[in-house]
Each structure stands twice: as structure tokens, then as C-alpha cells.
A and B are shown apart, each in its own frame.
Chain A
Amino acid sequence: MSDSTSQVADEQESLEAALKGEVLRMYQEVADNPELEFHFFHGREAAEMFGYSKEWLDRAPPGAVASFAGVGNPHERSYVQPGETVLDLGSGAGLDSIIASWQAGPTGAVMGVDLNPSMCLKAQAHAAASGTTMECHEGRMEEIPLHDEAVDLVISNGVINLSFQKRKVIQEIFRILKPGGRISFTDIVSAKQLSQAIVNDPKLWAS
């Protein structure tokens, strides 16, 4: 590896580490202080904006609803069937996992993956409080801690855009899906290339 290539790799690694720290900080803050105002809508207000049913929001634990920080409603076209195995990538406080779990039923299974181990614990507690279960794994979406062809469906809500390595994330999702498996996710996309100033600023990127 040349010096310049090595320097670029080092800078990329440093940026990714800073981004990881900022993502952990921001979403932990939403979970710990849902009463605060953020630059994005969150909680019940956001979930209602995206068409989550009132029945779901009334039935889910208040903590899971209050900490919701998604950018849309992946359940709109997820069509979860009883008995299916579902992965919620970037499961956060667990609202989407809980909704998927209700649909998959007792013969199905819902797993979450989240960068933040305390969010995993929170999501599992919320699932238990809602009368269902989920198994949450601490891990990175670029290296999903599941074996090949493990799930029928991957849902995700506003998470993949946070990765610098989107191709790797998509390849990982492909790997862990069973043949014939499907994805339903909502995420942020940009029509134009983001400026280097945004790319180099973890606070802006994490937004």
C-alpha cells in the first residue's frame, strides 16, 4: 500500500470511528431524553406522521414509542407472515421489532442488531413488556452477526444511510437472507453528492 493510499485509509478509519461515536451519542440521547426536541421528528409524533396505526402505538410500551427515531414506516410493505424470521437492522428502542413480532406470532422470531448494547437491552425489555420477545445482538451492520440465509425478511428504518460502507451493508443483508427472502426498509437518500464538508463532519453525517 502506498503512503497516500495508507493515509486515505487512515483518514477513512478515523472518520468512521468518529461517526460511530456520534451515532451512539445521538440515538442514546433520543432514548434517554425523549422529551427533548431534536432536528428530526421522533416519538409518537413521528410514528403517526408515517402512518403507524394507533392500535400499535397504544399497545406498544410507551418507552419504545417515545424513543422511536425512524424516517418512515417499513411495515407498510413488509407483509410479515406468521412463523417468519425477521431481522430489524438497527433496532434501537425496539418499536419496529415489536410490531414485526406481533405479526410473526409465537411460531416466528424477531432479531435485532444494534451498535449500542444498552439499546439492545432496552429493546428486549420493551419487547418483554409488550408480551413478545426479540433477541437483540450487538453488532455492526457492515458485519451482521448472523449466519448465512438466516432470515425471511429484513426491515430497517433510517439506519443504512449512516454507514460509510453501504455496499458492504447491502451485501451483508443479501448474505443473511434466505433464498426468496425480502427487504422492506425506509431510509434517507440524497439526489446530489453530499459536500466534503458534510462527509467529513460526523455530526452532520449522523443527522
Chain B
Amino acid sequence: MFRLLEETGFKRVRSAVVSGFRFRNDSTRDAAESYGVKSVLITARKPGPK
């Protein structure tokens, strides 16, 4: 996602992990953990004057 944003032309791409995110079920949670699944907050800006 980060790379896609930069390649599209976005600037000042920033991300932070959403610390409270988790799945409800143990099985889903375990599967998600094995793939390194996490929720992130992403911000970026389109170049140009505001």
C-alpha cells in the first residue's frame, strides 16, 4: 500500500499501526498473525498548492 501510494505520486506518505486492532475469533487471529496481518493508519498528500 505504502509503495502504491508513492508510485502513484503521493508525497509525505506516513503509516502507523492501529494498536487496538484484533480479530474476535482465535482461529482468525492465529491465521492473521501467521500472515503478519495488521491494521494501519495511513496518511499522505497529493502534491500541489493547498
Contacts and interface: CB of A to CB of B under 8 A. Distances in A.
Report whether chain A binds chain B.
yes
Interface string B1-23: 10011011110000000101111
Q: Which of B22, B25, B41, B48 has the most CB of A within 10 A?
A: B41
A184 interface: yes
Contact of B42 (A51, A183, A190, A207): A183
A16 interface: no
Given A179-B49, A183-B10, A187-B1, A40 B24 contact: yes
A50 B20 contact: yes
Nearest to A183: B44
A49 B24 CA distance: 12
Interface centre among B21, B40, B46, B48 (most CB of A within 10 A): B46
B41 to A, nearest CB: 5
A14 interface: no
Interface string A179-198: 11111111111111010000
A74 B41 contact: yes
A54 interface: no
A55 interface: no
Given A174-B9, A207-B28, A188 B39 contact: yes
Contact of B48 (A49, A178, A184): A178
Interface in B22-50: 22-25, 28, 35-50
A58 interface: no
A49 B10 CA distance: 29
A73 B21 CA distance: 10
Interface string A24-66: 0000000000000111110000000111000000000000000
Interface of A: 37-41, 49-51, 71-74, 76-77, 158, 160, 166-167, 170-171, 174, 177-192, 194, 207
26 contacts: A38-B24, A40-B23, A40-B24, A49-B21, A50-B18, A51-B20, A71-B18, A72-B20, A72-B21, A77-B43, A158-B39, A170-B1, A170-B4, A179-B47, A179-B49, A179-B50, A180-B50, A181-B46, A183-B5, A183-B42, A183-B43, A184-B42, A185-B42, A186-B40, A187-B1, A187-B40
